[in-house]
Amino acid sequence: MIFQKDVPREECGVVGVYSNNAESISKEIFFGLYALQHRGQESAGICTSDGESFYIHKGMGLVAQVFKESTFGKLKGNVGIGHTRYSTTGSSRIENAQPFLIDGKQIDIALAHNGNVINSNELKKEIINSGHHLSSSSDSEIIAHLISYAPALSWQDRIAYCMRKIQGAYSLVLMSKNELIGIRDPLGVRPLCIGKKENEWVIAS
């Protein structure tokens, strides 16, 4: 019989919110992350947008430790994503905290990821050889680069390009400055749910 230490262990929590009329949805993302705290206790982060700029805050520790009341006023916008981390790839340090922001040639995106990319080393070499810089040791940043720099114009083609390359089980919440997208691996191994309330759409693991 194998005995395991009685501590929370999951594989990251992700949440995304899009509102048609709210000026700020950062608190709703916070409460979503708080409900997903059991899925990761190492770091937490939120990224939002008002259609013109990204606003991001992330840090090490539990959700309630990373975010204070004063933080929410700085996270403006009607679209946003959040992440609470349990490391499966990459060490436990601030550089690996999510969401990741990527400045692409054609589009800027933010991404949060739950899962494992089993061919991440191969993809990392490909990205570096293409002249792109990686700031972390997380496979999540690799996915963000693949989508941001994909040789495609539409979201459908960008995502299809990325999904043809990555191998593993994953769920993603992805945003531009005015759009929210959820992505799940073809087999649906990692949980990802979509819901609607009033004038809002919510995606969460």
Radius of gyration of the chain (CA): 16
Asked if 117 contacts 170 with a C-beta cutoff of 8 angstroms, the reply is: yes
Q: Distance between CA 69 and CA 102 in Å, rounded?
A: 27
Asked if 14 contacts 204 with a C-beta cutoff of 8 angstroms, the reply is: yes
**Which amino acid, 5?**
K
User: Distance between terminal CA atoms of the chain?
Assistant: 31
**Which amino acid, 151?**
P
Sheet of 108-117: strand order equals 100-103, 108-117, 168-175, 180-184
Judge residue 45's burial from the number of C-beta atoms within 10 Å of its C-beta, 0-12 exposed, 13-18 middle, 19 or more buried: buried
12 is catalytic: yes
Q: Which of 12, 47, 162, 193 is catalytic?
A: 12
Q: What angle do CA 104, 33, 120 make, to 5 degrees?
A: 45
Q: Distance between CA 141 and CA 139 in Å, rounded?
A: 5
**Active site (catalytic) residues:** 12
